[in-house]
Structure 1
Amino acid sequence: MQKAAQKLQKSNKLLLAIPLCHAEERSISRKSYLPGDSSCLGVTLRNKHLKMQKDFKFNPIGIVHSPFKEKFGIPRQPGLAPSAKAVIELLPPFNLAETVLGLPEFSHIWVIFIFHATSERGWSPTVRPPRLGGNKRTGVFATRSTHRPNPIGMSVAELEQVEVENGKVLLHLRNIDLMDGTPVIDIKPYVPYSDSIPNAYADYAANVPEHKLIVSFNEEVEIKLREKPQLKQLIIEILRLDPRPAYRSIKDDANVYGIRIEDVDVKFKIENNAVIVVDL
């Protein structure tokens, strides 16, 4: 029996290794599942853990073309700026009509992507979410922070059109929070019955952020935007969310801030809890 058990242990199968434990070790505690545990089950799990420690290579399947040319000013979540549109261009060898067959039958998609602009900064076990004022720390896995062990993000977007023409496959999206040049590693359809959970709760992120600020433009800027109503609306949707660092968002300050939207540098300041766009 002992030889048979030892043979099973060598096979490194989790459940079959348990009979080798001493009687007092058969009551498996939560601690036993830690990779560094010295119990027989812990050793088995640690061996499996070491075998799993390998690199996984992901090839981008597409790239995002977005009006957001830099991190500052991008909505912190999707769905907050309806006028924010983007295009995902599929890259070879994935730019085939067959890869998107049936996708137009879905109104929304999940975009799985890489936080390419922050990946080199590494990660921290705790972060300071903007929704908590930027001063309170919480665990990285309890946030959607860009600074993660693996810099992978996910975003839901409205799918307006799937365009297949001249060897290109383009997915036209709206209501996005994606930076220009973002590498896309996967696309999945949004399935309402599975992905929407009406009774879910989310503690500090339970409610949609309020549009706290009124946005106005000085006379010179109004003239420049007269023939660009879509750009003007996008600027309003971005600035009313107060893109400043969270610790500054509770007060006025004397700074003039700038965000780049499309090919325009938008300069603004905050006075009396309102945004004034002072230059383009």
Structure 2
Amino acid sequence: MGDENASQDNYHRAPIIGYHRAALSQKFGAPRQPNLVALTSVIEMSAPYDTPAAFIGLDEFSHIWISWQFHQNYINKENSINQADNSFRPQVRPPRLGGNQRVGVFASRSMYRPSALGLSVVKLERIEIVQGRVFLIISGADMIDGTPIIDIKPYVAYSDAIIDAASGFAPMAPVSLDVTLTESAYEQFMTLVNIWQLHRSDNKNADTEPATVAALIHKTQSQLLVSDIDVIKALIAQDPRPAYRRHDIKIPFVMRYKSVDVSFQLIESGQLQIIAIVEVS
């Protein structure tokens, strides 16, 4: 067999079985590892994989493995296998090492890898069946909205948890920074939450209407709740800024969360401070 045919045989095509629906629509702000932030999100299964029969027994497990695709890296945006080959990076610079030190791509969890696949263990909060379709309510994902889901498997503690495993250059969870909120930013946030609550109260049947797919996705992606401020602070506490910008004082960065843009900056005290929360225009 010639090299050309052999190279084509090196690719395995897997079906997309669903999509991740979440409050984070952009890469900036997403946790760099799973379970660093207890962010609730939804996996919307696609037909024919959304049949309830395929999930019988899964609710007996507290956590699940998710195989997924890095769909917003520059390689996948090119949408070409050959271009992906030409773009192969043998080394990357992990943020954990300050963004300056290089390691092999296979010694990292970088999104710029040959398969463009991610693997995460998340908590399975519950399984919902809406309009005959299966939706998995999860927490702790490091995926953004629209992420294609390739596979789902139960997490089995006796074999999947290796207590004495060595974790190389990432031996423990990163230290979270302190996050404060200016008074004006808090007022902006509460004003937006009150608008959402008024809108909900205007819909008198909101709590009695049968659940719909549109309502479930809307709540996950857009509806602002009082509890969201704690999630926003937890996301920013992970410091999503590029590693080479970690010491920039009073330089604003913007994280999009649900229907708002959250502006924050590093202040002299070493804290990250949220300075504005405005509705996405």
TM-score normalised by the shorter chain: which range applies? 0.7 to 0.9
TM-score, L = length of structure 1: 0.78
| Equivalent residue runs for 1:171-190 within 5 Å | 171-190=136-155
Secondary structure class of the residue paired with 1:216 = strand
- Alignment partners' CA distance in 1, 2:55 and 2:103: 39
Higher relative contact order, structure no. (Cα contacts within 8 Å, ≥ 6 residues apart) = 2
1:94 and 2:58 aligned: no
Deviation at 1:275, TM superposition (A): 1.1
Question: Secondary structure at 1:225's aligned position in 2?
Answer: helix
2:31 aligns with one of 75, 84, 87? 75
Take 1:55 and 1:206, find their aligned partners in 2: how far apart are those partners? Answer: 33
Which of 120, 144, 149 is residue 77 of structure 2 equivalent to? 120
Partner residue, 2:83: none
Q: Distance in 1 between matches of 2:137 and 2:27?
A: 21
- Tell me how far 1:165 sits from its aligned partner: 3.0
| Identity %, equivalent residues | 38
Q: Considering only CA atoms, is the larger Rg found in Structure 1 or Structure 2?
A: 1
Structure 1, unmatched stretches of 5+, are 1-43
Report the RMSD for the aligned CA atoms in angstroms. Answer: 2.0
Aligned-partner residue type, residue 230 of structure 1: S
What residue number does 1:237 align with? 234
Instruction: Answer yes or no: is 1:268 the counterpart of 2:264.
Output: yes
- The answer for the alignment partner of 1:26 in structure 2 is none
Per-residue deviation at 1:148? 0.4
Matched, 1:166 2:131: yes
Mapped contact 1:225–1:231 kept (Cα < 8 A): no
Paired with 2:8 and 2:158, the residues of 1 have a C-alpha distance of 33
Whichever residue aligns with residue 141 of structure 2, its letter is: I
| Amino acid paired to 2:34 | P
Query: Among residues 180, 191, 194, which one is paired with 1:216 in the alignment?
Result: 180
Q: Residues 107 and 160 of structure 1 are in contact (CA less than 8 Å); yes or no, is this contact kept in structure 2? A: yes
How many residues of Structure 1 are paired with residues of Structure 2 in the alignment?
232
Paired amino acid for 1:60: I
Q: 1:58 aligns with which of 1, 5, 14?
A: 14
With normalisation by structure 2, the TM-score equals: 0.78
Contact 1:106–1:190 (8 Å) recurs in 2: yes
> Deviation at 1:54?
4.3
- The residue number in structure 2 matching 1:204 is 169
Whole-Å separation in 1 of the counterparts to 2:13 and 2:35: 30
